[in-house]
Amino acid sequence: MHCEYKVTYEDFIHSIKAYRKVSGAALFVYYLRVWMFPLLATLSLLFTIYGFFFFSQDTLATLVGANGGLLLLAILVPISYRIELKRNYKLRTSLAVDATVSLDFNDQTICFTIPSRTEVSYPWTSFTDYSEDSIVGTLFVGKAAFHTIPKRAMDEAGWSELRQYVLPHVRQF
């Protein structure tokens, strides 16, 4: 089977969501940076409002200073996470700028090629996990490396063939 595609940022984000299911560390970092810092800042803000009514002015001044720092972190940390995702997308797709990825697979191997730039082949046993949603299929090599294959790259017959080869060797999410 042969197909060609380009990975978009949306495709990459769908693979990142699958990656969080495979990697507990990635999931922890996501929750910490995107949810916990803003939650802590909100709680700190509520505590400062409470302090406005019940604490002395000196204590309140300390709370306001600490709350300002937490609010700044609550804004900057999730933004930096999004910026890091965009940077990682650009790094992962830097070889394929102005080119398409060619995907070829048979019952023995799968090969990802960017013409005149790189080629990598894997036996099906190299993959440890597989995730599929309505946008992409994500093949994992270990817990840190993955290949994103957009659903638009193949028709349903191609996807059925790919699943036939990969599913016996992997965990599915």
Domain boundary pick from 46, 62, 92:
92
Mark whether 83 and 145 lie in a shared domain. Answer: no
Q: Mark whether 135 and 83 lie in a shared domain.
A: no
Listed in sequence order, the DSSP H helices in 23-155 are 24-30, 37-54, 57-92
- Residue 81: band (very low, low, confident or very high) from pLDDT cuts 50, 70, 90: very high
Which of these three, 92, 107, 132, is where a domain ends?
Answer: 92
pLDDT band with cut points at 50, 70 and 90 for residue 173: low
Express each pLDDT in 82-134 by its tens digit: 999 999 999 988 888 888 999 999 999 999 999 889 999 999 999 999 999 99
What 3-state DSSP class applies to 35?
Answer: helix
pLDDT at site 162: 96
pLDDT of 14: 97
The residue type found at 102 is S
Last residue of a domain, one of 92, 107, 123: 92
Statement: residue 44 has pLDDT above 90: no
Cα(81)–Cα(124) distance, integer angstroms: 33
Does residue 84 sit in the same domain as residue 113? Answer: no
The label of the residue with tokens 């016996």 reads 168
Distance CA(129)–CA(70), nearest Å, equals 38
Confidence band for 163, pLDDT divided at 50, 70 and 90: very high
State yes or no: pLDDT of 69 exceeds 80: no
Tell the residue number behind the tokens 């599915």, with chain if given.
172
Number of domains in the chain: 2
164, 120: one domain: yes
Contacts of 114 (CB under 8 A, 6+ apart): 95, 96, 99, 100, 101, 102
Determine the average pLDDT of the residues in 34-58.
80
> Is residue 32 domain-shared with residue 71, that is, in the same domain?
yes
Handedness of CA 34, 91, 9, 134 (dihedral sign): negative
Nearest C-alpha neighbor of 106 from the set 87, 121, 91, 84: 121
**What residue numbers bound the domain in which 61 lies?**
23-92
167 secondary structure, DSSP code: G
Please state whether beta strands 2-5 and 101-105 pair in parallel, antiparallel, or not at all (unpaired): antiparallel
Q: How far apart are CA 54 and CA 57, in angstroms?
A: 10
